[in-house]
Amino acid sequence: MLNSVSTYSLFAAPRNAVSDLQSKLTQAETEQTTGLLADPVQSLGSQIGLDEQLQSQASTLANTQSANGIVQTSLSISQNALSAISSDAQSFVNSLVTAQSSGDVSTLQTQAQSFLSSFTSDLNTASAGAYVFGGDNSSVAPVADYSGAPQTATAAAFQTAFGFSQSSSQASTISASSMQSFLSGPFASLFSNPSWSANWSQASGTGTSAVISPGQSVPSSVSANQSTFGELASAYTSIADLGINNLNSSTQQTVVTSALARANAALAGISGMQTTLGISQSQLTNANSQLQAQSTLVTNWASQLQGVDPYQAATTLTDLTTQIETAYGLTNQIAKLGLVNYLAI
Amino acid sequence: MTLSSALNGAIAGLSVASAQISVVSRNIANQSNTSATRKIANVISVDGLPAVASISRASNTALLGSLLSANSNQAQQSAISNALTQLQSTLGTSSSDATSPTALMGQLTDALQNYADAPQNTASAQAAVTAASNLASSLNSASATVQNVREQADAGIVNSVSTINSLLSQFGQVNQTVVSGTATGADVTDALDQRDSLLQQLSSQIGITTVAGANNGLEIFTDSGVTLFDQTASPVTFTPVAAFSASTQGNAVYADGVPITVPGSSLSIHSGALVGLISVRDNLAPTYQSQLDQIASGLITDFQETDQSASPSQPPQAGLFNNGGSLTVPSTGVVTPALAAAIQVAASATSNPALLRDGGISSNGAAPYVYNPVPGQTGYSDRLNQLIANLSQPLAFDPSAGAGTQASVTDYASSSASWLGAQVNQASTAASYSTAVQSTASTALSNATGVNLDNELSNMLALEQSYQASTKLLNTVNTLYTSLFAVIQ
């Protein structure tokens, strides 16, 4: 049969092809320049949800790593403060040992007072507006200065136990055994709850924890309420504020021995806290490298979905350009191709 | 045979040739008119002499029929595809701008995480509440977009119905011309062309079938068999809805007094722009709206606050997110209509962001909805960590919304995006397929019935030759007569 073509469709064919090719060309141009799909929703279809989730996951992973930086900083600051407290306590222990063997306690009181003051300032260390030893109550300095409520409490306890003040001349009459029972009784109870919270500490709870990766929570601080700190405070206070210089020498030795025992116990406790926080620090480092690895995987996956092979994009662009040029050439050829051009009218 | 009969023959040749040339010139003039067909002069022999008996046109009913149905499909798919392109904007147009609910939920999680790691930090609290507001307003605007799409579809239906009515009334006039012209034997080819063109326009709006009647008359039915035109046009009616919300139902379109757009009814039309618009208004957009409503419901549930007293007796209350200020927590697993349009961040959280950490957003800091054992203690982060964990806890979702039944709210948001992506992808494939089919059908019809300039020109050459031959003949007869008369003198 004879196939006929209408002149209209003859001219329309290359014209329709050009408009279709041009719309593809704009897409290819975008893909070539951005390296990403021009229309991700249409191209990915049902995978767009996965793509969005991967992108949001990648940003959450990056954010968790940076948020872990905050935890890391506060852990380091806690560790520094604990080291300072521990090294002070160690020097104090050394002095006590010397005093115990030499029997000379004259310099101890001043030392203890200065250790006590640096102890309270170490416990009041803050990081980014939060007191690291404050537990949940991080906006208030956890430990009061000794000269306030703690001093009054010590004085009152002493007065109650012996009937006179630390500075009284009668202090020398206190026997070693009655001092011993004071130290392990009314005095010790000043440094454990409820007296500790009433007079010394504003901290809340026993420490905070932080979530460092989904489902993984680590201790991120210790609170000033830990009994170790009470123990150390009692060791310092017993030397600093029981009027040790007024006591008779055997009673002095009782006080020194008791302080030494408490300080040593506190040292062990502090090293335990350092270990706990150290474990948190190493867990945090591990978590971060795990998050980093996960983030790389997720980002790769997302870019596999969204990304366009630059070589392929360039080839598509060249292809389309060639096709459009061919269509233009064709339009021109068809325009020349008419019987009317050959008729000598 | 006589000289005068030769003269008659030459004259008949001239008149036939000029009549045919006039048809050729008519064809050439209409060459670029897509609705005009190729006209043919039907030459018959009367008493041995040629005469143009009638003008007919090239036509192909089968090809026209397939073009009509291709038109209907194409218009339907493009209506759906256009609407989906608008819905797609709720997901963000490119990967760089993160405006989709999934992305904003990720940002909220990040902000909560930052706040949990520095719970004393008011700037972090503020950032978390801002992220929550962004999420709420993105759901509000997505919901507005969906309802806007429905409103536009409704307006599109109004336009479509008035176009159909106007086309049907024009069709009535043209059809009358054809019927009366055919009865009297007039040239009705132009009217037929015009009628075909009206049918093509009509088929874009609504799927149609035609039945031929007496004297070239046509009757039009919808593709479901409802009469649109039989002697006279049946009115197509539609009542638009003034404003759309998630719970608004659109009205049906009626033709010849019966509803033709009720899903499942045997009288429902199958194709045409009307079907596309109806399916956007009553099916696609409402489903997406339900998914947005479910996302909003999931968020309110995840952030709800429960009675924290030792022996809880109070019901849970909506916390950071609430339904337009109401403290009621929507029930899970059932769509609450228009929730996405009404979801907002509680005013108490905006004015006091620290309530996010301490709890008590719903009660403005009053027991028993406060989580922080000592309110105001700034190191408390348990509630924040709990909220972050809640966002990945599975919840029950309404199966009718079509994006899953058991998922965390973030997963649900991403499967809703996937649902929309699949629809967009499917619609765009269907639209380009139906466009290709329509273009093929249109080319086939144009090839079968359209004008080829070269054909016409070569016809004209032949006619020119025949005309010249006839004049030569006249001249010869004239010379013969002259010689004859000279002999007589």
pLDDT of B287 over the 50 cut = yes
User: Residue A345 pLDDT more than 60?
Assistant: no
Nearest-neighbour CA in chain A from B89: distance (Å): 10
The pLDDT of residue B276 is above 80: yes
Confidence of residue B95 (pLDDT cuts 50, 70, 90): low
Digit-coded pLDDT (tens) for A164-215: 888 888 888 889 999 999 998 899 999 988 888 888 988 887 788 888 888 8
Contacts of residue B169, defined as CB under 8 A and 6 or more positions apart, other chains included, come to B233
Q: What tens digit of pLDDT does each residue of A125-178 get?
A: 988 788 999 888 888 889 988 888 899 999 999 999 998 888 888 888 889 999
Contact A42 B425 (CB under 8 A): yes
**CB count in 10 Å sphere of residue A105:** 21
Read off the pLDDT band of B374 (50, 70, 90): confident
Partners of residue B95 in chain A, C-beta under 8 Å: 36-37, 40, 51, 55, 306
Give contacts of A 67-96 with B, CB under 8 A.
Answer: 67-68, 70-71
- The band of A1, judged by pLDDT with boundaries at 50, 70 and 90, is very low
What number is the average pLDDT over the span A47-75? 89
Report the residue of chain A nearest B114, measured CA to CA: A67
Listed as own residue / partner, the contacts of A188-191 with beta carbons closer than 8 Å and 24 or more positions apart are A188/A234, A190/A150, A190/A153, A190/A154, A190/A157, A190/A234, A190/A237, A191/A230, A191/A231, A191/A233, A191/A234, A191/A237
Q: Do B119 and A40 touch (CB under 8 A)?
A: no
Give the list of residues 6+ apart from residue A182 with CB closer than 8 angstroms, or none: A157, A158, A161, A162
- Closest CA of chain A from B180, distance in Å: 31
Segment B419-459, tens digit of pLDDT: 999 999 999 999 999 999 999 999 999 989 999 888 899 99
Select the residue of B98, B415, B421 nearest A45 (Cβ to Cβ).
Answer: B421
Backbone angles phi, psi at B396, to 5 degrees: -90, 135
Closest residue on chain A to B105 (Cα): A56
Q: Is residue A31 predicted with pLDDT exceeding 60?
A: yes
| A8 and B447 Cβ atoms separated by less than 8 Å | no
Chain A partners of B100 at a C-beta cutoff of 8 Å? 52
Pairing relationship of beta strands B254-255 and B236-237 according to DSSP bridges: antiparallel
pLDDT at A170: 87
- Among B340, B454, B444, smallest CA distance to B64 is for B444
Residues in chain B: 489
pLDDT digits (tens, 9 = 90+) for B231-271: 899 999 999 998 888 888 999 999 999 999 988 889 999 99
Which amino acid would we find at residue A291? L
For residue A26, list its beta bridge partners: none
* Res B159: pLDDT: 96
Higher pLDDT among residues A211 and A345, named by residue: A211
pLDDT of residue A205: 78
**What pLDDT is stored for residue B345 in this prediction?**
95
| A145 and B CB contact within 8 Å | no
CB atoms B418 and A48 under 8 Å: yes
Note the pLDDT tens digit of each residue in A66-103: 989 989 998 999 999 999 999 999 999 999 999 888 88
Per-chain mean pLDDT for chain B: 91
Find the CB nearest B418 among A5, A47, A135. Answer: A47
Cβ separation A63–B458 shorter than 8 A? no
Is the pLDDT score of B92 beyond 80?
no
Pick the closest to residue B76 from B165, B156, B145, B176 (CA basis).
B156
Q: What is the ipTM of this complex?
A: 0.83
State the average pLDDT for chain A: 89
How distant is the Cα of A51 from the closest Cα of chain B, in angstroms?
A: 9
Instruction: Give the whole-angstrom CA distance, residue B90 versus residue B92.
Output: 6
Residue B131 has pLDDT above 60, yes or no: yes
My answer on whether omega of the bond before A14 falls inside 30° of 0, hence cis, is no
- Do B410 and A56 make contact, defined as CB atoms within 8 angstroms? yes
- CB contact, 8 Å: A1 with chain B? no
At A340 the pLDDT is 81
Confidence of residue A2 (pLDDT cuts 50, 70, 90): low
Nearest CA-CA distance, residue A46 and chain B, Å: 4
| CB within 8 Å: A138 and B422 | no
- Tell me how far the alpha carbon of residue B446 is from its chain's centroid: 25
CB contact at 8 A, B281 and B153: yes
Q: Please give, rounded to a whole number of angstroms, the shortest distance from the CA of A196 to a CA of chain B.
A: 18
- Pick the more confident residue, B80 or A209: B80
Q: Which residue has the tokens 């020194």?
A: A256
Residue B299: pLDDT above 60? yes
Residue-level pLDDT at B425: 92
Q: Which of B95, B373, B457 sits opposite A343 (nearest CB)?
A: B457
Secondary structure (DSSP) of A72-100: HHHHHHHHHHHHHHHHHHHHHHHHHHHHH
Contacts of A163 (CB under 8 A, 6+ apart): none
Contacts of A50 in chain B (CB under 8 A): 414, 418
Residues of B in Cβ contact (< 8 Å) with A343: 457, 461
Max Cα–Cα distance, chain A, nearest Å: 146
The secondary structure of residue B317, as a DSSP letter, is B
Closest partner CB to B374 (pick from A6, A52, A204): A204
Phi, psi at A25, each rounded to 5°: -65, -40
In chain B, the N- to C-terminal Cα span, in Å, equals: 24
Is the dihedral angle over the CA atoms B196, B199, B204, B209 positive or is it negative?
negative
Under the banding of pLDDT at 50, 70 and 90, the label for residue B93 is low
B240: three-class secondary structure by DSSP: coil
pLDDT for B31: 84
- Kindly list the distances between the CA atom of residue B90 and the CA atoms of A232, B95, B465, in Å, as whole numbers in the listed order: 61, 13, 69
Nearest CA in chain B to A139: B378
Helix ranges (H only) for B185-322 are 189-205, 273-279, 285-302
pLDDT category at B167 given cuts 50, 70, 90 is very high
CB contact under 8 A, B103 and A52: yes
The residue-averaged pLDDT of B404-425 equals: 92
For B17-53, the pLDDT digits (tens) are: 999 999 999 999 988 888 889 999 999 998 889 999 8
CB-CB under 8 Å, B420 with A211:
no
Q: How far apart, in Å, are the Cα atoms of A222 and each of A126, A266, A269, A324, B401? A: 13, 14, 12, 72, 49
Chain A: residue whose CA lies nearest to B391: A214
A280, A82 contact by CB (below 8 A): no
